Structure 1
Amino acid sequence: MSDIKRPTTAAAWVEADRLHLLHPQHHPSEQQNPIIWSRGEGATLYDTEGRAYLDGLSGMWNVHLGHGRWELVEAASRQLSTLAFATAYAGATHEPAIRLAERLKKIAPAGIESFFFTTSGSEATDTSIRTARWFWRAQGKPAKTKIIAREWSYHGSTIGAASATGVDEFSEGFGPRLPGFLHIPSPYPYRFDGDGEAAADLLEAAILREGPETVAAFIAEPVQGGGGGVIVPPDGYFERIREICDSHDVLFIADEVITGFGRTGKWFALEHWGIAPDIVQFAKGITSGYVPLGGIGISARIKDVLDGAESDRRWWHGFTASAHPVACAVALETLRIIDEERLVERAAGQGGALLGRLREALGWHPHVGEVRGLGLLAGVELVADRRTRARFAPEFRIASKLRAELLARGLYTRIVNDTICLAPPLTTTDTDLSRIADIVIDAVETVCRPTKS
């Protein structure tokens, strides 16, 4: 390996990146002049040139505790020094996994009793889908295999998770989605012509059309983030969804990968509507992104069926790194900090202030269709015409223009569906949060150059 030389300049790093690294959602046009991150502190990221950027999306919706939390580093180090890895397959276990499952039981949605750990949200989605199908087959209903999801949903990039995802780009270049997946319209208040119950009734129509005897589960994010651009459902939606699933014996899977662990001002977002799922899936914020961990929680009803299966017809599912002890240890420390620093309550208060500020400054803007959010999860949707809600034409390149203006002002975040998405760390100071709002307001006004009337 002596012939491999370490790059010494930014240009050399970029060239090595271009030659040897594939990026998520890869395209070389986006890697011509990439930001090369060097370190993070609190809500701020620094590149190799020393430039500072406020982290407006908590990395990828996951760095709940901000950057540079030594408590998490030390938790990982302690675990690495005692038990770096041990399998949690049947017949073996370890203390960090047991303790984490016990801790999650105390904060999970009502009725969720038992947990399985993965390394990502995509794996959690596949686990939910396989569990739902196995559950019905174990009870003599093998025809119940179909999964209903929603347009603008994002559930991951594995073949099963991408099939559930309601954004065509994640599937069309790879061939058709797996059979047995279908999508209904999103309860997108800004663009859906109807109330929450009307949007939910589309699920019942789909179940009846397909036949309840063929539908295994409905999967939904409480707030549609990565695919929709922070879509908060209208009142009455999830209450009606729960009724429909119960009425037709369909499992309800809540995808809380983005919304879990305080992001919306509740431990889990479904608490806002008082709804309990049959399966809840999670990842991202459970370790503040410091190490990979995801998983699902299941109801006692599902656990009873798993426990009652014959040995040769068991739930044949697992991953090598399931319940990785280091990840479980970091998760336990993350949850301790969220609890002790009251970050769930903090997210509710700060999120309300952020949303109020953005609405006050941009609510009148002729090119701002909607400012929406829940807790420290917010979106500012840009439109070509506020009156008709028409989107910008692709040739206007609204997203790339906004991104350039945000970066120039020192804010790094994502733009989804012409919506500026914000999900800063739950530890972000009031000063930094105010600065984030200032940058968004200034960038929107610069790109769209409004005339206030």
Structure 2
Amino acid sequence: MTEAVQQAPGTHPVDMERPWPFVPFGANLTVDRAEGPYLYTPEGQRILDAAGGAVVGNIGYGRADVTEAMAAAVRRFGYVVPPFQTDSRLRLVERLRDRWLPPGLDRVHLNSGGTEAMEVALKLARQVHVARGEPQRRVVIGRDLSYHGASIMTLAVGGHAERRAGFEDWLPDWPKAPPHYCLRCPLGLSRPTCGTACVDAIDRLIGETGPQNVAAVIAEPVVGSSGGSFVPPDDYWPRLREICSRHGVLLIADEVMSGFGRTGAKFAVDHWNVVPDILVGGKGMSGGYAPIAGVYAGEELARPLAETGQQLMYYTYGGHPAACAAADAVLEIMEREDMVARVAALEPRMEAALAPLRQHPNVAEVRGKGLLWSIEMVRDRDTLERFPVEAGLSFKVVSEGLSRGVFFYPGGTKVHRDIVTLGPPFVVTEADIDLIGAVLRESIDAAVAACG
């Protein structure tokens, strides 16, 4: 029997009898199986996964052709070191290059997940500048309210206050630019008269740091759950591309969440016809069937490493044959069933289903693109006053949703809080989307009432 945990003042009760996860939190849900866009409990309750897990699921659960491809790969060999070639690795790389990646991004490095891939992207930026004879370029400029992973380096470039907490003295003190958070503009401006002030702030930070000292700028084209589906103004990414090119700074696009069709384009940068120097994609790459993510760049970044005798470091399970087989099968299904176009076509239905919430007294904003949407909740929509941290509003909404048969994803950074994110599988029906909107409103009403 586990001993009772003594609580510090102001902390939450913790049920340490639960064996998983390491520190128990949130709703205690057991999932027995999944099919299509639905999760099923051992008791037979059906739950519509409006979050796609952690905004991962895309082709729907239970696709036999994916599991069969994985099984075939495992039967042939359980493991092959990452630099060796296998048919599943080669098929996936060729599919990515020929049918998915923006033009010019034809070098592929495979990893086990988003954090790992983002760490590799940062290392790549550093290695390239060293190989080019500019070792002083070591600073990476990120943005506030961003999230790029849970390793020390990815926490350093991110702006997720809760996940950085307690590690600050381990993290490089690199500059952070303001996000394109138009609802609460950190610069005190408003659209459209602000021009490109938030992206011009990046230009200013590069100048203050010294362009010769800056290795890269890293940003999510559509910010994920940490900010709550921030969609940039249309002139943001073209302007950011111009700034980075002018200063010789590498532009890293974090599309771990927004890539592979989630926003209604193959990658979110495609909406603005921008090609970054380094693109990172994960999550939807395998639709949750296997842990895999990729770092994608052009030959102009790979060649300096090759000429100076360097390698881009691999991790043990990078490009695992079964994971590659899963990703190749998932992307083939997306192509065959034209799922990227389906996401774009479903966007108006999602917007319509969420439209009533725009008038809700406790909803400040509904925002998103494709099938990546978020709702920001407040105590007072006129003043934008937030609920107190201890209210835990987002988790209350998630709990209320589960009790009504729909799973929502809690977002925010604790400082920036009371965010619920939606990222359902691409196979949801219009009726499913309508249900998401209706249950979300009921869940918000019940959660707000519970806050008193």
Do both share a fold (TM > 0.5)? yes
Matched ranges for 1:4-153 at <5 A: 18=17, 20-23=19-22, 26=23, 28=24, 30=25, 34-89=28-83, 92-106=84-98, 107-153=100-146
Task: Determine if contact 1:197/1:237 at 8 Å carries over to the other structure.
Answer: yes
Residue 272 of structure 2 corresponds to residue 273 of structure 1: yes
Residue identity in the other structure for 2:34: G
Q: Which amino acid aligns with 1:411?
A: V
Q: How does 1:394-409 map to 2 (within 5 A)?
A: 394-409=389-404
SS at match of 1:378: strand
Partner of 1:198: 197
- Paired residue for 2:314? 318
Return the offset for 1:413: 1.7
Structure 2: runs of 5 or more not aligned: 1-13, 412-416
Does 1:253 find its partner at 2:252? yes
Q: Which amino acid aligns with 1:248?
A: H
Change (3 A) 1:21 1:408: closer
Q: Deviation string for 1:223-282 (max 9, x for gaps)?
A: 111311211112211111111101111100000100111110001011111111000001
State the partner residue of 1:370.
Answer: 365
Q: Deviations over 1:325-354 (max 9, x none)?
A: 111111110000001111101111112211
| Aligned residue type for 1:65 | I
Q: CA deviation at 1:19?
A: 6.2
Partners of 1:35 and 1:176 lie apart in 2 by: 36
1:385 aligns with 2:377: no
Spell out the pairing of 1:211-290 with structure 2 (5 A cutoff).
Answer: 211-290=210-289
Q: Residues 157 and 18 (structure 1 numbering): CA distance in 2 closer, same or farther, change over 3 Å?
A: farther
User: Are residues 1:337 and 2:337 paired?
Assistant: no
Matched residues in 2 for 1:169 and 1:139: separation? 37
Mapped contact 1:282–1:295 kept (Cα < 8 A): yes
The alpha carbon displacement at 1:391 in A equals: 1.6
Instruction: Give 1:444 deviation, angstroms.
Output: 2.6
Moved more, 243-252 or 233-242: 233-242
Q: Report the Cα distance in structure 2 between the residues aligned to 1:139 and 1:154, rounded to whole angstroms.
A: 29
1:396 to 1:19, Cα distance in 2 relative to 1, 3 A: closer
- The one-letter amino acid of 2:214's match is V
1:171 to 164, 169, 180: 164
Q: CA deviation at 1:109?
A: 1.7
- Assess, with a 3 A threshold, how the Cα gap between structure 1 residues 196 and 87 changes in structure 2: closer, same or farther: farther
Structure 1 residues 174, 18: closer, same or farther in 2, change over 3 A? farther
TM-score, length basis structure 2: 0.89
Q: Whole-Å Cα distance in 2 between the matches of residues 125 and 235 of structure 1?
A: 25
Distance 1:172 1:445, change over 3 A: closer
Q: Whole-Å Cα distance in 2 between the matches of residues 316 and 362 of structure 1?
A: 47
Offset at residue 395 of structure 1 (A):
4.4
Matched, 1:294 2:293: yes
Q: Which residue type is aligned with residue 196 of structure 2?
A: E
Q: Aligned partners of 2:317 and 2:446: how far apart in 1?
A: 47
> Given that residues 222 and 269 in structure 1 are in contact (C-alpha distance below 8 angstroms), is that contact kept between their aligned partners in structure 2?
yes
Structure 1: give runs of 5+ residues left out of the alignment.
Answer: 1-14
- Which of these residues, 409, 416, 427, is aligned with residue 414 of structure 1? 409
User: The residue matched to 2:196 in structure 1 has which SS?
Assistant: helix
1:177 positional shift:
4.2
After TM superposition, the structure 1 stretch with the greater mean CA deviation from structure 2, 293-302 or 129-138, is: 293-302
8 A contact 2:199–2:240 mirrored in 1: yes
Deviations 1:272-310 (A, max 9, x none): 11111000001111111111001200122212222322x
- Secondary structure of the residue that 2:106 maps to in structure 1? strand
Q: Secondary structure in 1 aligned to 2:276?
A: coil
1:41, distance to aligned residue in structure 2 (A):
1.1
Matched-pair contact (CA < 8 Å) for 2:350–2:433: yes
Q: 1:196 to 1:330 in 2, by over 3 A?
A: farther
Return the letter of the residue paired with 1:301: E
Give the Cα separation in 2 of the matches to 1:177 and 1:148. 17
Residues 175 and 389 from structure 1, CA distance in 2 versus in 1: closer, same or farther, beyond 3 angstroms? closer
**Contact between 1:189 and 1:234, CA under 8 Å: does it hold in 2?**
no
Return the match for 1:351 from 347, 357, 361: 347
Q: Specify the SS of the correspondent of 1:190.
A: helix
Does the residue aligned with 1:432 lie in a helix, a strand or coil? helix
Alignment check: 8 A CA contact 2:364 2:376 kept: yes
Equivalent of 1:156 in 144, 149, 156:
149
Quote the RMSD (CA, aligned, Å). 1.9
1:292 is paired with a residue whose SS is: coil
Range 249-258 or range 402-411, more displaced: 402-411
Q: For residue 181 of structure 2, what is the aligned residue in structure 1? A: 188
Report the number of matched residues.
424
Write out per-residue CA displacement over residues 206-233 of structure 1, whole angstroms, 9 at most, x where no aligned residue: 1111111111001111111131121111
Alignment check: 8 A CA contact 1:128 1:279 kept: yes
Normalised TM-score (structure 1): 0.89
Does the aligned pair in 2 maintain the 1:151–1:166 contact within 8 Å? yes
Report the CA distance shift for 1:285/1:316 in structure 2 as closer, same or farther (over 3 A): closer
